[in-house]
């Protein structure tokens, strides 16, 4: 059985990726510092606690498990924090990824599926972004991810490292069996914030602006079900195993939902009201941000079949009712 090392495998997306890998016949080995991840989320394969900045620990794990490929999710991802503490993001995300790449190559592992982000495109409002769109990141989080993409390009030339890079947008939903799900501290994502507000676990939701040029005045974003997203990552491992070489893919539906639409569907699914206030716009928020994902659909054979708003919220609500981790 092929082993895949999953960095950040105790986090939201990484834990779902481990479940999908196991279902596809792989052995996922989670490597996670547990700074933002949860040991309770490691249910589908071995766990190795460690930090990407600890090269000796990485070498130990590669020698022990001999993974054929790496699925790399581990990263700090708070955009606001990245603007205030850029060194933290360059050190953790970029220097940590360099350590990981060099440990991979030293162990003879030359295939990586990398979790990048739409933040590498920066502030390009009201356009459909595809893999050829100009990359102009405007915060340290997006810049650190773009730097890792450039690293992968350089090590492909020098050492034959092959990578599948996924740039994706908003992720929502949870594992259909509610074995794992979304649990951040602090929570910043819209769907769990809405569910917490409905359930009385926090105060009123703040809607940042209702005067945008959209049908209901609120921002529109592209949402992908987490299980659709990790299916693409498993397809990415297969792509590399089949010798198809390095490739970049966007992952999204190309449609998008407004903040108001997300709130309305959440109210329908849960049978509760969403207590909320309308606040001023946040600096840097785009009116509409959606992804063109035709390449993933035509080349990878990826279909985001679960990524309806109702399905994402139903699955997130089922997970929400378990109480999460911790």
The DSSP line for 291-325 is E--HHIIIII----TT--HHHHHHHHHHHHTTT--
pLDDT greater than 80 at residue 63: yes
Find, among 168, 139, 132, 179, the residue nearest to 22 by Cα.
179
> pLDDT by residue (tens digit) across 196-206?
999 999 899 99
pTM of the model: 0.94
pLDDT number for residue 127: 73
Predicted local distance difference test score (pLDDT) of residue 138: 77
Q: Rounded distance, CA 322 to CA 176, Å?
A: 13
Task: Give the pLDDT band of residue 108 (cuts 50, 70, 90).
Answer: very high
Model pLDDT for residues 285-308, shown as the tens digit of each residue: 778 888 888 999 999 999 999 999
- CATH for the stretch 190-221+254-320: 3.90.25.10
Q: What is the CATH number of domain 3-172+223-251?
A: 3.40.50.720
141 is catalytic: yes
- State the Cα–Cα distance between residues 107 and 68, nearest whole angstrom: 10
CA 258, distance to chain mean position in Å, is: 20
Residue 257 pLDDT > 70: yes
Residue that has been written with the tokens 């991802």 in this structure: 77
- The residue annotated as part of the active site, out of 12, 89, 121, 141, is 141
Whole-number Å distance between alpha carbons of 119 and 135? 9
The mean pLDDT value of the chain amounts to: 93
The mean per-residue pLDDT over the stretch 171-181 comes to 96
Rounded distance between C-alpha atoms, residue 65 and residue 6, angstroms: 12
Domain with CATH 3.40.50.720 in the chain: 3-172+223-251
Residue with the larger pLDDT of the pair 105 and 138: 105
Mean pLDDT of all residues in 89-118 = 95
The answer to whether residue 126 scores a pLDDT higher than 70 is no
Q: Where in the chain is the domain with CATH 3.90.25.10?
A: 190-221+254-320
Percent over 90 (pLDDT), the chain: 77
| Those residues with Cβ within 8 angstroms of residue 271's Cβ, 6 or more apart along the chain or in another chain | none
**Backbone phi, then psi, for 208, in 5-degree steps?**
-85, 85
């Amino acid at each position: 059985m092929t082993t895949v090392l999953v960095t950040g495998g105790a986090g939201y997306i990484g834990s779902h990726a481990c479940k999908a890998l196991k279902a596809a016949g792989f052995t996922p080995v989670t490597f996670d510092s547990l700074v933002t991840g949860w040991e309770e989320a490691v249910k589908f394969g071995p766990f190795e606690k460690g930090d990407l900045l600890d090269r000796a620990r990485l070498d130990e794990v590669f020698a022990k498990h001999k993974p054929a490929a790496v699925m790399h999710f581990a990263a700090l991802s708070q955009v606001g924090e990245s603007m205030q503490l850029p060194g933290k993001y360059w050190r953790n995300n970029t220097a940590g990824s360099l350590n990981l790449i060099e440990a991979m190559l030293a162990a003879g592992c030359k295939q990586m599926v990398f979790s990048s982000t739409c933040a590498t495109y920066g502030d390009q409002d009201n356009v459909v972004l595809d893999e050829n769109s100009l990359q102009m990141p405007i915060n340290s989080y997006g810049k650190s991810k773009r730097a890792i993409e450039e690293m992968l390009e350089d090590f492909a030339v020098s050492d034959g490292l092959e990578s599948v890079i996924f740039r994706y947008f908003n992720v929502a939903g949870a594992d259909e069996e509610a074995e794992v799900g979304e649990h951040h501290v602090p929570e910043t994502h819209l769907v769990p914030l809405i569910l917490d507000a409905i359930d009385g676990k926090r105060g009123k939701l703040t809607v940042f602006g209702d005067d945008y040029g959209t049908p209901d005045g609120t921002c529109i974003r592209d949402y992908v079900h987490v299980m659709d997203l990790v299916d693409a990552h498993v397809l990415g491992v297969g792509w590399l195993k089949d010798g198809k070489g390095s490739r970049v893919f966007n992952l999204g539906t190309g449609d998008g939902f407004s903040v108001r639409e997300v709130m309305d569907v959440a109210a329908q699914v849960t049978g509760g009201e969403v207590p909320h206030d309308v606040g001023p716009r946040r600096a840097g928020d785009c009116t509409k941000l959606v992804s063109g994902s035709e390449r993933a659909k035509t080349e990878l054979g990826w279909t985001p079949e679960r990524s309806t708003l109702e399905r994402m919220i139903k699955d997130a609500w089922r997970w929400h009712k378990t109480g999460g981790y911790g």
